A and B are shown apart, each in its own frame.
Chain A
């Protein structure tokens, strides 16, 4: 079904199950260790051999010699694969044979990831060998015996040095509205500040891992991937086999955050070796390999020029972004939120992307906004201070109800930023804030509070589902949709229960298998809304089929308490399903509502920090996020998503940074001890408030994603709080103690 007109009233609006708090239906499996992740299919795949990948020891250059003699002679070794004996594979540009032509905006074979195809090294820890042995210990040992010599060549590893050679990315053209230069020059109040954000790593807890098994010419991959059909496309395309010969299973995924949207070495190497050895192969990337072999959030340099009139109305908004990536890699669109967040007649947004030889930069939780807001929302505070305005008043003054680039003809589908700010201000006690920095002391701690606006573009994706009602009254939902911790299992059960009038314990959900209907998958916060919408239409079709089989007029049926009712008649739907059951499929496709309306989720983040007046260590004392993201399908799992985003935002503000050694061209701190993410002791009790305003233009569910909204702006709220506490304005993320200490007045 194409969703192209605003949704009317529908069964989801009943709010009997949807919108209610439900514990995760997969919860008891997860807490008892029984939910199987990619590496854990012992019963299904007996007799595996173990693979260990060897990564390149240089950042750029060429392999000059490989000696596999010792590795091959090591006990238990079955195969040592290098570019010299790896099968030919296919790169980007090669769709799986028999594929339909790519959709608009898609490149054929865009997810392909060939491994071991030649001596060239394009980034550190690129796969250079794959060692398979009877046991993991033997494979790891032999992998360490592969001798590789390289000729390193000079690479481009330093964004600051390369930024001037940046070019305009194809999908981030300049936006030049009004006359920015003139307006900025003439304005009475302005800031011109440059912020930098570092490379960041997803650092999800489950490493990328795969088990590959061939049955004839059919490959089954148990792997950890956020979007099943992308995995199928990438693997089939790389191997040059039809997509219907590849089955991908990702039933449980140990965290994603964007790290499992692409194909890396593990599924490809496992599939190739399994074919060669005619035996199932299992491999997980090692934790140190993850940081340089896979992708990361790329660093940015951002110049913000904001100007306002004396009352605080923004006159000019300039946002210049410099980022870098490998050839073919995407830009970090850090100016995206600046298009929509505030009013202002003169706007200049520019992105320049330089070529870098670092590992591939790609999506990490809220690509674009997450780092763009780190700069924009601090610059807004800087201008508010220049104007002598309260940061919240300043933001409210510059609210807009339509796309400021396009004008009133493109209104927001819904926008409650002002309410988020006001609600949060009241709940957080904003009025007690001392606007003058460095004034509040608590023993040896300096205390401050900060705020930032949040915005995350609402993305949608076609999504399908299959539903089956059995004679015992159990509804089974099948879709390729994944649950990366987001709560998909639970919210889809809620949609099914709501639509069919069933209790939650009569609904089963099966996810993450390419044998199920293609779905949106988990990425860009589109999953919950899109997959629920696809399921909604599948359930509508099932309702119609039940009604038809019952002989009811389907236009005025209702489903409740396990029964269908119409015109005073009522029957148990289990009885109608009978022993063969009754099935339906459905799919959502999205029309042009996202073009006609600006669609985004909004929020406001509030942080209170304490900064040690001696050491400049920062501790977050409390946080509140007020979110408006359409209908909240499950307030419990949605709240958890926000808490996760807030915590990752605290990490981005205070500690997360992949340190680049520009001599060797790699991320030096490539493990969980040295790439620091927040631990329990860093995170206080935090609060989340949902405004729960439905948005009838987002989908029939009237929902939006919250998983990324939770991180957008958080780091800036923390940085603004650090400034309020200390008077130290650090514009180089993360705000580590060394940077704060030198700027602290005391």
Chain B
């Protein structure tokens, strides 16, 4: 872990300004992913701005019925919030399917969105990885890639986004609110928040330098049946092999997927096929998939999952 200096911010604007003012500075909230990577010298901030004391830790119903989740709301608290459990069960379910209780107690809403991939080679500082060292190559292509992506990947990177929470948020059409160092705020639709790797796999989100996530806004309750099905190699405390977040509501069916792509994956055009069953939906979702020999099984697995989830509804 590279040496760094540390400061505690007291407000969101203060935090954004502090990071903007110091080259190599990073926000630290839960720390559950950043510190993990700093120990391996994959992340090397020279300055940490602790944002755990700037507020942003509340969940509020907005005047128009939407729900605003503060960036620093812990995963446990978000999953346990009565409004979330009642109206956004898919989000509770996704959160509870992720990590362990200890990690959920610490990890934040914003930090969860910003999780970095669990690709073996990203974690191995001795191996080529375009995400870690742009231009160094991708060891995962032609390597061990059973758990990696089949959709939205590029010949530079086939990493997946590891979050469960973000998959549910994608199904819910959440919006990510931010503040820039100059104080301007904006809302980024979650569909646009995570970027595909293309030729720049090291650029993972739409955030600009110093831009701080202040919250995530969910639309007014959609009703319907909420499902999060996570497939994994052990019963708990494991990243998804594949997951699906489904909201089957009077207004339509929404389906988003984890474990398939560099970002939570959703193909709205596929959802209109829901009444025709899982295979019809899967055909659209998986169009253009580029599996490797090792992760080809994810395609029939998605089809089976979809068939099951839609048949249950």
Let me know if chains A and B touch directly in the complex, using CB atoms closer than 8 Å. yes
Interface residues of B in 180-239 (CB under 8 A from A): 229, 231-239
Bound form: Cα–Cα A631–B237 in Å? 39
**Minimal beta-carbon separation of B235 from chain A (angstroms):** 4
Known contacts A615-B231, A664-B127: A741-B301 contact under CB 8 Å? yes
B234:A682 contact, CB within 8 angstroms: yes
B238:A676 contact, CB within 8 angstroms: yes
Return the chain B residue nearest A734 by Cβ.
B233
A676:B233 contact, CB within 8 angstroms: yes
- Chain A residues near B301: list those with CB within 8 A: 615, 737-738, 741
| Residue B250, interface by CB 8 Å | no
Interface residues of A in 703-746 (CB under 8 A from B): 736-738, 741-742
| Residue A619, interface by CB 8 Å | yes
**Minimal beta-carbon separation of A75 from chain B (angstroms):** 7
| Residue A679, interface by CB 8 Å | yes
Bound form: Cα–Cα A419–B228 in Å? 47
- Chain B residues near A671: list those with CB within 8 A: 123
- Chain A residues near B142: list those with CB within 8 A: 663
Partner among B41, B139, B143, B307 whose Cβ is within 8 Å of the Cβ of A144: B41
| Residue B144, interface by CB 8 Å | yes
Partner among A140, A619, A664, A674 whose Cβ is within 8 Å of the Cβ of B235: A619
**Minimal beta-carbon separation of A160 from chain B (angstroms):** 15
Known contacts A57-B126, A617-B231, A673-B118: A738-B297 contact under CB 8 Å? yes
Return the chain B residue nearest A650 by Cβ.
B234
B232:A617 contact, CB within 8 angstroms: yes
Bound form: Cα–Cα A522–B308 in Å? 50
Bound form: Cα–Cα A625–B139 in Å? 43
**Minimal beta-carbon separation of A195 from chain B (angstroms):** 20
Interface residues of B in 142-167 (CB under 8 A from A): 142-144, 146
- Chain B residues near A682: list those with CB within 8 A: 234-236
| Residue A193, interface by CB 8 Å | no
Q: How many residues of B contact A (CB 8 A)?
A: 36
- Chain B residues near A668: list those with CB within 8 A: 120-121, 124, 143-144
Known contacts A674-B118, A738-B297: A655-B233 contact under CB 8 Å? yes
| Residue B53, interface by CB 8 Å | no
Bound form: Cα–Cα A655–B238 in Å? 11
Bound form: Cα–Cα A651–B242 in Å? 21
Known contacts A617-B232, A679-B234: A140-B1 contact under CB 8 Å? yes
- Chain A residues near B2: list those with CB within 8 A: 141, 144
Known contacts A615-B305, A676-B234, A678-B234: A742-B144 contact under CB 8 Å? no
- Chain A residues near B305: list those with CB within 8 A: 614-615
**Minimal beta-carbon separation of B240 from chain A (angstroms):** 11
| Residue B39, interface by CB 8 Å | yes
**Minimal beta-carbon separation of A465 from chain B (angstroms):** 41
Q: Mark contacts of B270-313 with chain A using CB atoms, 8 A cut-off: 1 yes-contact digit, 0 otherwise.
A: 00000000000000000000000000010011001101100000
Q: How many residues of A contact B (CB 8 A)?
A: 35
- Chain B residues near A393: list those with CB within 8 A: none
- Chain B residues near A736: list those with CB within 8 A: 233
**Minimal beta-carbon separation of B138 from chain A (angstroms):** 12
Partner among A144, A669, A679, A680 whose Cβ is within 8 Å of the Cβ of B144: A669
| Residue B241, interface by CB 8 Å | yes
Bound form: Cα–Cα A58–B125 in Å? 12
- Chain A residues near B241: list those with CB within 8 A: 737-738
Bound form: Cα–Cα A676–B127 in Å? 22
- Chain A residues near B307: list those with CB within 8 A: 614
Bound form: Cα–Cα A664–B120 in Å? 13
Return the chain B residue nearest A143 by Cβ.
B41
**Minimal beta-carbon separation of A598 from chain B (angstroms):** 38
| Residue A427, interface by CB 8 Å | no
| Residue B3, interface by CB 8 Å | yes
Return the chain B residue nearest A144 by Cβ.
B41
| Residue A661, interface by CB 8 Å | yes
**Minimal beta-carbon separation of A49 from chain B (angstroms):** 18
- Chain B residues near A103: list those with CB within 8 A: none
Known contacts A141-B3, A444-B308: A737-B233 contact under CB 8 Å? yes
Q: Mark contacts of A674-688 with chain B using CB atoms, 8 A cut-off: 1 yes-contact digit, 0 otherwise.
A: 101011111000000
B120:A737 contact, CB within 8 angstroms: no
Bound form: Cα–Cα A615–B40 in Å? 34
Bound form: Cα–Cα A738–B123 in Å? 24
A681:B144 contact, CB within 8 angstroms: no
- Chain B residues near A654: list those with CB within 8 A: 233-234
A737:B127 contact, CB within 8 angstroms: no
| Residue A137, interface by CB 8 Å | yes
Return the chain B residue nearest A676 by Cβ.
B234
Bound form: Cα–Cα A485–B297 in Å? 40
| Residue A659, interface by CB 8 Å | yes
Interface residues of A in 34-57 (CB under 8 A from B): 57
Q: Mark contacts of B98-137 with chain A using CB atoms, 8 A cut-off: 1 yes-contact digit, 0 otherwise.
A: 0000000000000000000010110110110000000000
A742:B297 contact, CB within 8 angstroms: yes
- Chain A residues near B118: list those with CB within 8 A: 673-674
- Chain B residues near A676: list those with CB within 8 A: 233-234, 238
Return the chain B residue nearest A617 by Cβ.
B231
Partner among A614, A619, A679, A680 whose Cβ is within 8 Å of the Cβ of B308: A614
Bound form: Cα–Cα A671–B238 in Å? 12
Bound form: Cα–Cα A379–B287 in Å? 41
**Minimal beta-carbon separation of B38 from chain A (angstroms):** 10
A680:B238 contact, CB within 8 angstroms: no
Bound form: Cα–Cα A654–B237 in Å? 15
B234:A75 contact, CB within 8 angstroms: no
- Chain A residues near B144: list those with CB within 8 A: 659, 661, 668-669
- Chain B residues near A674: list those with CB within 8 A: 118, 120
A137:B233 contact, CB within 8 angstroms: no
B127:A681 contact, CB within 8 angstroms: no
- Chain B residues near A742: list those with CB within 8 A: 297, 300
Interface residues of A in 131-188 (CB under 8 A from B): 137, 140-141, 144
A679:B3 contact, CB within 8 angstroms: no
- Chain B residues near A141: list those with CB within 8 A: 1-3
Known contacts A141-B2, A655-B233: A673-B239 contact under CB 8 Å? yes
- Chain B residues near A137: list those with CB within 8 A: 1
Partner among B1, B127, B139, B237 whose Cβ is within 8 Å of the Cβ of A679: B237
**Minimal beta-carbon separation of A447 from chain B (angstroms):** 16
**Minimal beta-carbon separation of B267 from chain A (angstroms):** 21
- Chain B residues near A288: list those with CB within 8 A: 40
- Chain B residues near A681: list those with CB within 8 A: 234-237
**Minimal beta-carbon separation of B295 from chain A (angstroms):** 8
Bound form: Cα–Cα A617–B123 in Å? 27
Bound form: Cα–Cα A194–B157 in Å? 36
- Chain A residues near B120: list those with CB within 8 A: 659, 668-669, 674
Bound form: Cα–Cα A742–B124 in Å? 31
Return the chain B residue nearest A742 by Cβ.
B297
A663:B143 contact, CB within 8 angstroms: yes
- Chain B residues near A140: list those with CB within 8 A: 1, 39
- Chain A residues near B41: list those with CB within 8 A: 144
Partner among A673, A680, A741 whose Cβ is within 8 Å of the Cβ of B236: A680
Interface residues of A in 73-91 (CB under 8 A from B): 75
Bound form: Cα–Cα A57–B124 in Å? 9
9 A–B contacts, CB within 8 A, in A order = A144-B41, A444-B308, A614-B307, A615-B305, A655-B234, A673-B118, A679-B236, A681-B237, A736-B233
Task: List the 7 shortest-distance A-B pairs measured between CB atoms, nearest first.
Answer: A57-B126, A681-B235, A681-B236, A738-B297, A614-B308, A668-B120, A144-B41
